[in-house]
């Protein structure tokens, strides 16, 4: 297996070397056509060919990415080895060359233009100087991380009758050994050779014609590729899968909606469990010590009409903790029982060990689309503390178990009813961040409201099954968003930085004391992680709809973010 072969090679050996090449220059060709007749006479003569030395910097073929490297990814901050940076998904980098004192000197190094126009939601990976960028609809390009120069690209062939909810997106790849793994919009999982882009295998995860699709970056868990599914607006039944990286064979599948006879199935009236959604369209996290995979689940379907699916609708809008080897459910925590507002728990679980009420606790931090922030014990799923972090009107608060206490009469109606957060949520899939230096959790928060409608719909395979929808009653410019820093011990907001009016950017923190993020009005910016003070901003001219990431090559730190259809890379002025 890849795991064993790779242990021999330590990645630190492979740094950029200056190599001298011998180049053969055929000077005779410059003499033109007349010279051809004399070629034979010149054979053996020094004029025929002349050696000229020249120098080039060779980016090495990267060393294979072992599981050990992934577990210890935070110790090699030069690389960004998975979607959320590390298995705990903190998005905290130990790099500090760019820091509070010099971040204002960041300047553009290169830009990569994605050829297919859509919103770029990609978080690139960087492995030993090579960057892997995913593009809409389901393509990958490998570039030199210092220059943006292309090594190879993979264009995935898609059918033309896709069922996709919300845009042709792909958020990134996972890497193990020398293989990349990518979700595709036709609900396949593909494996690509990281050195060439060659397709190694192409596995159908589910039938796209039934409304399934895939957009999220897979997560490597030991020797498995763990991955989720999208399609919560099409009456699918969600699941989390694990595949053999060598063959693409399914190793385990855990449905997010229990089948008949399984505990939790009784939380769905009638046959509604069959079409209950609970998709898993964003990447989860993993704790190697506990051997638990944590994954968020999406809304129950139909989204806005709960009449046809009475009950709590487990395990929709939940975090599920699964055994890393078997996929067996260890515990779950449901943020929004019987959701009727599309408050997906499609957020990335951030794992950290913190001091809580005097003792060291393994916790999980979660700012949910429903407007509440939660700190959970990740060994047991026990609720520790939670409070609203964004405007919300649907719940009076959380009870001692973290279950929401609902405000009566906030369900969608045929006529429409105004509720906060709006459908897009207090936050959404945008990656939150955590700083090991400040101990704060950072989230992109939206204070908005929307009118929610209910409709009666019959389920049809492959068709949308949402039971309603929403509309804004004010222009978007009337609303505000903020980057909010939350203390996970108290769930209190420590500081906030206002954004006008929206952001769907993720957050990355660094040992340089920085929080990097972006905004819908096209800014990429850095805040002081302790105070929220703005330290640097740059207009990239189009919406930042992805999370930034940072890496280093040859001891030079870079910061990369996608905006519009472009991937921008910055570094300090030299």
Partner 1 sequence: MGLNSTTRWKWLLASATLAVVLSGSFSEIPFGFLSGTIIGTLIGTPANAEDGGNLYNTELDVTQGRSYFERQCSRCHGFDATGNDETGAPDLTGRLNRASTDVGIFDILRNGIAGTAMLPVSATLPDTQIWQLVAYINSLSADPANIQLPGNAVAGMELFTGKGDCDSCHMISGKGGRLGSDLSFVGDRRDPEELVSDLITPTKDVEPRWWRLRITGRDGTVREGFRMNESSFSVRIMDTDENLWSYATNQIETYERVTDSTMPSFAQTLTDSEVDDLVAYLFSLRKEI
- Please select the residue that binds partner 1; options are 466, 510, 557, 560, rule is CB under 8 A: 466
CA distance 365 to 442: 10
Name the strand (E) or helix (H) holding 68.
Answer: helix 67-71
When binding is defined by CB under 8 A, the residue of 91, 100, 168, 341 that contacts partner 1 is 168
Contact between 568 and partner 1 per CB under 8 A: no
Q: Does 559 bind partner 1 (CB under 8 A)?
A: no
Contact status: 212 vs partner 1 (CB under 8 A): no
Question: In this chain, which stretch among 57-65, 162-170, 308-316, 561-569 interacts with partner 1, using CB under 8 A?
Answer: 162-170
Closest CB 194 distance from partner 1, rounded Å: 29
Distance of CA 413 to the CA centre of its chain: 34
CB of 161 to partner 1, least distance (A): 5
Kindly state the tokens that stand for 99. Answer: 């820091």
Task: Give how far Cα 221 sits from Cα of 69, 79, 214, 246, 327, Å.
Answer: 12, 18, 19, 14, 11
Should residue 469 be labelled a site residue for partner 1 when binding is judged by CB under 8 A? yes
What is the pattern of x (binds partner 1, CB under 8 A) and - over residues 94-123? ----------------------xxx-----
What single DSSP character describes residue 338? T
Using rule CB under 8 A, residue 462 touches partner 1? yes
For partner 1, the binding residues in 495-514 under the rule CB under 8 A are: 498-500, 502, 504
Piece of 92-100, 176-184, 359-367, 451-459 that binds partner 1 (CB under 8 A) = 451-459
Q: In 3D, which of 185, 191, 81, 183 has the Cα closest to residue 130? A: 81
Q: Which of 457, 487, 496, 528 binds partner 1 (CB under 8 A)?
A: 457
| Sheet with strand 292-296: strands edge to edge | 285-287, 292-296, 318-323, 329-334
Q: Please tell me whether residue 522 binds partner 1 under the rule CB under 8 A.
A: yes
Q: Which of 150, 199, 476, 492 binds partner 1 (CB under 8 A)?
A: 476
- Which residues participate in catalysis according to the annotation? 342
Between CA 78 and CA 93 the distance in angstroms is 9
The rounded distance, in Å, linking the Cα atoms of 373 and 16 is 44
Question: Which tokens belong to 168?
Answer: 């042709």
Residue 9 or 478 having the CB closest to partner 1: 478
H or E stretch covering 396? strand 395-398
C-beta neighbour count of 520 within 10 angstroms: 20
By the rule CB under 8 A, 463 interacts with partner 1:
yes
Q: Which residues touch 131 (CB under 8 Å, ≥6 apart)?
A: 124, 125, 142, 143, 144, 145, 551, 560
Query: CB 510 → partner 1: shortest distance, Å?
Result: 21
Piece in contact with partner 1 (CB under 8 A), picked from 73-81, 160-168, 197-205, 376-384: 160-168
Asked if 345 contacts 336 with a C-beta cutoff of 8 angstroms, the reply is yes
Q: Write out the DSSP string of 88-114.
A: T---EE---SS-TTTGGGEEEEEEEE-
Q: Does 453 bind partner 1 (CB under 8 A)?
A: yes
User: Which one of 525, 551, 568, 570 is in contact with partner 1 (CB under 8 A)?
Assistant: 525
Footprint on this chain of partner 1 (rule: CB under 8 A)? 116-118, 160-162, 164-168, 233, 424, 451, 453, 455, 457, 462-464, 466, 468-472, 475-478, 498-500, 502, 504, 519-523, 525, 534, 537, 539
């Amino acid at each position: 297996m890849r795991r064993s072969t790779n242990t021999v090679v330590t990645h630190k050996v492979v740094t950029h070397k200056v190599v001298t090449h011998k180049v053969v220059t055929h000077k005779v060709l410059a003499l033109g056509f007349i010279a051809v007749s004399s070629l034979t006479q010149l054979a053996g003569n020094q004029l025929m060919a002349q050696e000229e030395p020249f120098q080039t910097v060779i980016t090495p073929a990267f060393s294979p990415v072992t599981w050990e490297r992934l577990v210890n990814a935070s110790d090699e901050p030069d690389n960004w080895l998975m979607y959320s940076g590390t298995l705990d998904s903190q998005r905290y980098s130990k790099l500090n060359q760019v820091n509070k004192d010099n971040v204002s000197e960041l300047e553009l190094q290169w830009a990569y233009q994605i050829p297919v126009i859509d919103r770029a939601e990609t978080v690139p990976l960087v492995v030993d100087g090579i960057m892997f960028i995913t593009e809409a609809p389901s393509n990958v390009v490998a570039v030199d991380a210092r220059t943006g120069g292309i090594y190879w690209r993979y264009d995935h062939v898609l059918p033309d009758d896709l069922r996709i909810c919300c845009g042709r997106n792909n958020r990134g790849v996972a890497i193990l050994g020398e293989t990349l793994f990518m979700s595709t919009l036709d609900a396949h999982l593909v494996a690509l050779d990281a050195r060439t882009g060659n397709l190694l295998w192409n596995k159908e995860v589910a039938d796209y014609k039934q409304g399934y699709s895939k957009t999220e970056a897979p997560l490597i868990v030991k020797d498995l590729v763990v991955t989720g599914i999208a399609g919560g607006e099409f009456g699918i039944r969600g699941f989390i899968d694990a595949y053999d990286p060598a063959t693409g064979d399914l190793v385990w599948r855990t449905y997010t909606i229990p089948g008949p006879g399984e505990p939790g199935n009784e939380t769905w009236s009638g046959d509604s469990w069959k079409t209950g959604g609970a998709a898993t369209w964003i990447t989860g996290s993993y704790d190697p010590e506990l051997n638990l995979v944590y994954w968020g689940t999406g809304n129950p379907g139909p989204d806005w009409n709960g009449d046809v699916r009475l009950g709590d609708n487990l395990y929709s809008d939940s975090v599920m903790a699964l055994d890393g080897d078997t996929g067996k459910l260890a515990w779950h925590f449901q943020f929004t029982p019987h959701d009727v507002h599309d408050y997906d728990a499609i957020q990335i679980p951030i794992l950290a060990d913190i001091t809580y009420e005097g003792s060291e606790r393994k916790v999980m931090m979660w700012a949910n689309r429903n407007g509440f922030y939660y700190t959970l014990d990740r060994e047991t799923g026990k609720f520790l503390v939670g409070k609203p972090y964004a405007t919300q009107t649907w719940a009076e608060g959380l009870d001692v178990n973290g279950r929401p206490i609902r405000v009566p009469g906030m369900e969608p109606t045929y006529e429409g009813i105004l509720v906060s957060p709006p459908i897009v949520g207090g936050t959404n899939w945008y990656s939150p961040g955590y700083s090991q230096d400040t101990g704060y959790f950072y989230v992109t928060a939206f204070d908005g409201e929307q009118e929610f409608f209910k409709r009666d719909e019959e389920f049809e395979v492959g068709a949308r099954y949402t039971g309603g929808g929403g509309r804004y009653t004010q222009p978007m410019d009337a609303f505000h968003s903020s980057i909010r820093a939350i203390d996970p011990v108290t769930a209190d907001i420590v500081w906030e930085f206002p954004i006008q009016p929206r952001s769907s950017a993720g957050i990355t923190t660094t040992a340089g004391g920085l929080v990097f993020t972006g905004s819908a009005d096209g800014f990429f910016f850095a805040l002081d992680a302790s105070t929220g003070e703005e330290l640097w901003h740059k207009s990239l001219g189009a919406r930042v709809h992805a999370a930034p990431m940072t890496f280093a090559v040859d001891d030079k730190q870079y910061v990369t973010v996608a905006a519009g259809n472009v991937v921008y890379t910055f570094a300090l002025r030299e």
